[in-house]
Amino acid sequence: MIFDGIKKNLLKEVAGLEAIPNGAFNIRSDGELAGRNVTDTIDIVTKKDKPGIDVIIKKSEKRQRVDIPVIITKAGLKDLVYNDFYIEDEADVVIVAGCGIHTCGGDSEHSGIHSFHVGKNAKVTYYEKHYGDGDGNGKRILNPVTEIELLEGASLTMDTAQIKGVDSSIRKTTAVLQANATLVIREKIMTHGSQFAETDFKVDLNGENAGVHVVSRSVAKDNSSQKFYSVVNGNAKCSGHTECDAIVMDNATVSALPGLNANNIDASLIHEAAIGKLQANNL
């Protein structure tokens, strides 16, 4: 794999990669496979019926890591992938994803549909960072969809960040948790100019003692706008906590619409939301 300076910078920004990883990885560049490596316990297979990959993660004696970044430098490209992750019972893995777009005329778009099938007592840490740069001509559009299934005792921690250069983003996340499963989601978003970002969470706590903790931190500047939606359905004895903290500057707008549905008498659900103003001269 040979990357020019722009692509190297995108890989560094979204995945922290300054060299080709030693372990398992799948790098997608401008809508095509640029490089791949598998290990004895992590397999990556190209889908036959649609664009995307299956990532199969087996149990190992140590924590594993797989990198699956996407980079785009072609103007006018609309990239769509379906990535499925199959995590074996009791496996422990770190997954580093993310997408970087560099535009120089014409809109470019990436939509990644990621589905996580997490086995019993397995542990997943998932990082996803979105980044954009270029000369300002053409929009950088990112619309990720994340679908999560946590079996009994499984846990998934999801850290997402969108801090620069993304003109439009709609992020949708759905999750179903079985008994004693735990989901933690932490997102950071910054918008400026006329950018738009929307986050939509829906979590079903179906198993006894399942728990979810969602924290969104955001800053909206200039004329940008953000929307935060969250729905937590407590369908058993469970615990759920969602938190949205936003700072608004200039002429930006932010809306937060939480939803909590206690469908079981022992469901304990909490939501906190705060939207405040910050003057630019106070920075």
Encode pLDDT of 84-111 as tens digits: 999 999 999 999 999 999 986 789 999 9
Is the pLDDT reported for residue 2 higher than 80? no
% of the chain residues with pLDDT over 90: 83
DSSP 28-81: EETTEEEEEE--SSEEEEE-SSSSEEEEEE---SS-EEEE--EEE--TT-EEEE
Q: How confident is the model at residue 280 (pLDDT cuts 50, 70, 90)?
A: low
Query: Counting beta carbons within 10 angstroms of the beta carbon of residue 5, is it exposed (0 to 12), middle (13 to 18) or buried (19 or more)?
Result: exposed
User: CB atoms < 10 A from the CB of 247, how many?
Assistant: 17
pLDDT number for residue 137: 77
pLDDT the model gives residue 86: 98
Measured from the Cβ of residue 13, the count of other Cβ atoms closer than 10 Å reads: 22
Residue 281 has pLDDT above 90, yes or no: no
pLDDT-derived band at 19 (thresholds 50, 70, 90) equals: confident
Per DSSP, the three-state class of 12 is: helix
- Angle made by CA atoms 8, 133, 190, in degrees to the nearest 5: 115
Torsional sign, CA 85, 163, 109, 24: negative
Give the pLDDT confidence score for residue 21 in this predicted structure.
Answer: 84
* Residue 268, SS3 per DSSP: strand
What pLDDT was estimated at residue 47? 97
Q: Is the pLDDT of residue 283 over 50?
A: no
Average pLDDT over all residues of the chain: 93
Confidence check: pLDDT of 20 > 60: yes
φ/ψ (deg, to 5) at 8:
-60, -40
